[in-house]
Amino acid sequence: MARGPAAPAPAAPSTARALLLSCHPVPTAAVTALTTSLGAAVGLAAADLALLAAAVLTGQLSVGWSNDLLDRRRDATTARADKPLAAAGAPVRAAAVATALALAAALPPSLALGAAAGAAHLGFVASAWAYNLGLKAGPLSWLPYATGFGLLPAVPVLAAGAAPPAWLCAAGALLGVGAHLFNALPDVEDDEGTGVRGLPVRLGRAAGRLLGCLLLVAAVAVLALLPPGPAGPAGWAALAAGGGLAVAAALDGGARGSRRGFVLAVGTAAVGVALLAARTASLG
């Protein structure tokens, strides 16, 4: 069937507003806050916490800006009002410079955390860039989320001089893939129409919401039940709370243009970090 003319692109906002909106502010803030909170839970000193926050924030900024830069033509085709770099006259050059600066700025604090922690964090950033550069469009769109978020919780643990337990990395990978589904499901029509056929598009909304819910519940179950010792009241409470948020994400998430499911997925991750804060002995 012949496609009609592309919808007109929205007017470009100011450079500052465009950079703020195109850095993916909610995921950037959430990932930075949760990783820094995990660093506090494992006992990192204030200086190391500052390095951790700076490394994660700058890495996430580079990921968010590069994502919108690379997708700007597809976003213009679908007239995404929430994608300022797709607008006519958008500050593309400023965003490209900001992306390069953010990526460069992520290196010093990452390496200052130690060789192992730095390598883990840069592996996380590289996974996100691999998604942006092409993996998002195919059946392996989930893989950068599994590898990246499997590495991310290891960063503060390694910076503290401990060995990250396998269950922690497994929980991170499960959370990452679940969040990927809830983040992408609202855009499945736009993605499919522009040739982006990642896992969420291939699954569709119903199956994607079910799988996303199961992955989030599994992640919290891993955090509650696999660390040494009994789960205790905190573990069971976290499992109930995280499971409830995951079910709410499945029931409410996935509607076109809605980000509620993703926000609820972030809430599930926050429950997991709170549980880890209450059981720091299990981290090394």
Give 1-37 pLDDT, tens digit per residue: 344 444 454 556 789 999 999 999 999 999 999 999 9
Distance CA 160, CA 162 (A): 6
According to the model, what pLDDT value does residue 4 have?
45
Distance CA 226, CA 249 (A): 24
Distance of CA 220 to the CA centre of its chain: 17
Distance of CA 268 to the CA centre of its chain: 13
Is residue 163 a contact partner of residue 154, using CB atoms and an 8 Å limit? no
Residues of the chain with pLDDT under 50: 1-7, 9
176-to-18, 71, 82, 272 alpha-carbon distances in Å: 26, 21, 23, 13
According to the model, what pLDDT value does residue 92 have?
94
Distance CA 257, CA 188 (A): 10
pTM, two decimal places: 0.90
According to the model, what pLDDT value does residue 123 have?
98
According to the model, what pLDDT value does residue 279 have?
76
Is residue 127 a contact partner of residue 59, using CB atoms and an 8 Å limit? no
Query: Domains of the chain: which residue ranges?
Result: 14-114+128-137, 165-284
What CATH topology corresponds to 165-284?
Four Helix Bundle (Hemerythrin (Met), subunit A) (1.20.120)
According to the model, what pLDDT value does residue 108 have?
98
According to the model, what pLDDT value does residue 10 have?
52
According to the model, what pLDDT value does residue 11 have?
56
